[in-house]
Structure 1
Amino acid sequence: MAEKTTQYYVPESSPWPLLSSVGLFLIAIGGGNFIQQSTGVGGNEGSMGGIVLTIGVLWIIACLFGWWRDTIKESIGGLHSDQLDRSYRQGMLWFIFSEVMFFGAFFGAMFYARWLIVPWLGGEGIGAMTHELLWPDFQAMWPVTTTPDGRTTQAMGAWGLPMINTAILITSSITLSIAHHALLAGDRSKTLIFQGATIILALIFTGVQGYEYVHAYRDLGLTLDAGIYGSLFFLMTGFHGIHVIIGSIFLIVTFFRVVKRHHLDGNNFAWEAAAWYWHFVDVVWLFLFITVYWL
């Protein structure tokens, strides 16, 4: 490990931001078409949404690999000064804040639908005429388990798979906190053991959520096109699942950096950033469990 510079390091021009933007564009286009193709909406039955989405995901993974490789080389080369470390920390905090706003919009949409739109369609207040003209058989209740076309679905209960996943994520936060304290104490073996346990729990969470989706589609009739409840359920839990996968990748990368002894000189920002992100993901899940599954 090279000695840390006292100069503020300004990296050279990088192609990764532009290339990553291309990957995100492919994910947005492919994901939108894939959802429409899956639900039969918009007449995109013959579209290549799934292929474009896959290409976009693989593109982003390649960009992350190249971008993180360059940043790791700068770090172990001693180019990251204390000032740059503070800049990284501020940037990560602002990024997490933007993620809070991102999920805040989803929670706002759910509360708006649940407390304003559903009662209105049920005939409360100024919605009486709308109720009589458009949906006279609609009953104002949450979750909405009857779609506009008359199809009946079942809500996902809180005390089965969701409760198991909640316990898994809470445990993962505990194991990661233990790993963090071990890292600060210079105990590399303990750090690897408990960070490895966190990664295993993260992968189990993803597997359980995948099984939950299969159960929702196969047994409950709860799909993406199952009305406002189905749409919000998959939107909120699905985006959280994506964040779990991203956090898992983050933890895996920092795990192997600990294996290579990159974080034993006090330069722990990358590891701590992964831990911040993971704890954020855990907190979001607690809100999801309470508002989407329980209440």
Structure 2
Amino acid sequence: MSSQNAAAPYYFVPGPSKWPLLAGMSLLTTMIGASAWVNDLSWGPVVNFVGLAAIISVLYFWFGDAIKESEAGQYGQRVDHSYRWSMAWFIFSEVMFFGAFFGALFYARSISMPWLGDLDHKFIWPDFAAHWGNTGPAGTVQEFKTMGPFPIPTINTALLLTSGLTLTISHHALRAGHRAQTAFWLFATIALGAIFMGFQAFEYHHAYTELNLKLTSGIYGSTFFMLTGFHGFHVTMGAIMLSVVLYRVLRGHFTPDHHFAFEGAAWYWHFVDVVWLGLYVVVYWL
């Protein structure tokens, strides 16, 4: 949101839109393709990528409409409040999303594993070792090595913490009316996020080719890749959001007092930083 218009309606209500319906259909297509893909059906990847392309297209046009409405002065203070509450609840839903995966990791590591390794179960699985990163009670998982915190996870931690700092500097520059500095530090934030993703891709390649650590490597592999993979997805989405904000900064869309699109993307990015700190400690160190 770039400006407040005194002549804006009490509360702007857009007309009927096709985007919610198209978004739902695109999401359904994506999930059908993903479900088929993980079940080794040949048409799964194609349907999945078609759905993803459709989602991207819908978001592009849908958010484009919102930007046009904002720049036309349709949004007053009440719409600004609605956006803030909506973004806050969206981030809360993301907290619950990651909380479920952290909960699964806690249950597997702190409850199920000691339970399977107690004296009663020694009669069933005498060779089972109750340590995190084992091959399962029946030994059906191929041997693999666990992922430590050095060097890539630690480097990535430094990258994300630095990106939070550069984003904060960019925000302060925008509030001070220094558009060139805002763009520079925002670009630096996006670049740090891209470097983070590059290191994570290298880490995954290392895990698969050298550690034999895969998504199918028992509960350790599934929790490792689900937590770090979904976090990487959120970093990617955050970088895309910040890239759109950067484009709008260069177009002169924001003012020092009214720039919620920047703030909303910044909230999301800082949330991603906090989640990574939890991952870094729980997944790589403990």
Same-fold status (TM-score > 0.5): yes
Correspondence for 1:13 among 11, 16, 22: 16
Correspondence for 1:102 among 85, 97, 100: 97
Q: Is the 8 A contact 1:2 1:78 kept in 2?
A: yes
Can you list the C-alpha shifts for 1:103-149, whole angstroms capped at 9, x where unaligned? 0000000000001111111125xxx14x422x321100013356831
Q: Is the 8 A contact 2:135 2:143 kept in 1?
A: yes
User: 2: CA distance between counterparts of 1:112 and 1:293?
Assistant: 17
**Offset at residue 32 of structure 1 (A):** 2.6
User: 2: CA distance between counterparts of 1:150 and 1:294?
Assistant: 23
**Offset at residue 265 of structure 1 (A):** 5.8
CA gap 1:84/1:150 in 2 versus in 1, 3 angstroms: closer
Could you state the TM-score of these two structures normalised by the residue count of structure 1? 0.92
Match of residue 39 from structure 2: 36
**Offset at residue 2 of structure 1 (A):** 7.7
- Count of residues in correspondence between the two structures: 282
Structure number with greater CO (CA < 8 Å, separation at least 6) is 2
User: 2: CA distance between counterparts of 1:74 and 1:19?
Assistant: 20
Q: Which moved more, 1:15-24 or 1:155-164?
A: 15-24
Match of residue 117 from structure 1: 112
Q: Is the 8 A contact 1:244 1:281 kept in 2?
A: yes
Does residue 1:279 correspond to 2:263, yes or no? Answer: no
Match of residue 60 from structure 1: 55
Match of residue 40 from structure 1: none
Q: Is the 8 A contact 2:135 2:141 kept in 1?
A: no
**Offset at residue 3 of structure 1 (A):** 6.2
Q: How does 1:71-110 map to 2 (within 5 A)?
A: 71-110=66-105
Can you list the C-alpha shifts for 1:43-87, whole angstroms capped at 9, x where unaligned? x4xx22211121111111101101110000000000011011001
Q: Is the 8 A contact 1:258 1:264 kept in 2?
A: no
Match of residue 134 from structure 2: 144
User: 2: CA distance between counterparts of 1:83 and 1:176?
Assistant: 26
Correspondence for 2:45 among 44, 50, 53: 50
- Letter paired with 2:176: A
**Offset at residue 15 of structure 1 (A):** 1.4
CA gap 1:31/1:150 in 2 versus in 1, 3 angstroms: closer
Unaligned runs of 5+ in 1: 38-43
Can you list the C-alpha shifts for 1:134-171, whole angstroms capped at 9, x where unaligned? x3211000133568315210001111111111111001
Correspondence for 2:190 among 176, 199, 204: 199
SS at match of 1:136: coil
Match of residue 25 from structure 1: 28
SS at match of 2:39: helix
User: 2: CA distance between counterparts of 1:156 and 1:149?
Assistant: 20
Q: Is the 8 A contact 1:166 1:289 kept in 2?
A: yes
- Letter paired with 1:112: Y
Q: Is the 8 A contact 2:3 2:255 kept in 1?
A: no
Can you list the C-alpha shifts for 1:171-194, whole angstroms capped at 9, x where unaligned? 100000000000111110110000
User: 1: CA distance between counterparts of 2:74 and 2:123?
Assistant: 69
Could you state the TM-score of these two structures normalised by the residue count of structure 2? 0.94
CA gap 1:3/1:117 in 2 versus in 1, 3 angstroms: closer
Q: Which moved more, 1:141-150 or 1:64-73?
A: 141-150
Unaligned runs of 5+ in 2: none
Can you list the C-alpha shifts for 1:223-279, whole angstroms capped at 9, x where unaligned? 011100001111111111111111011000000000000012632111100000000
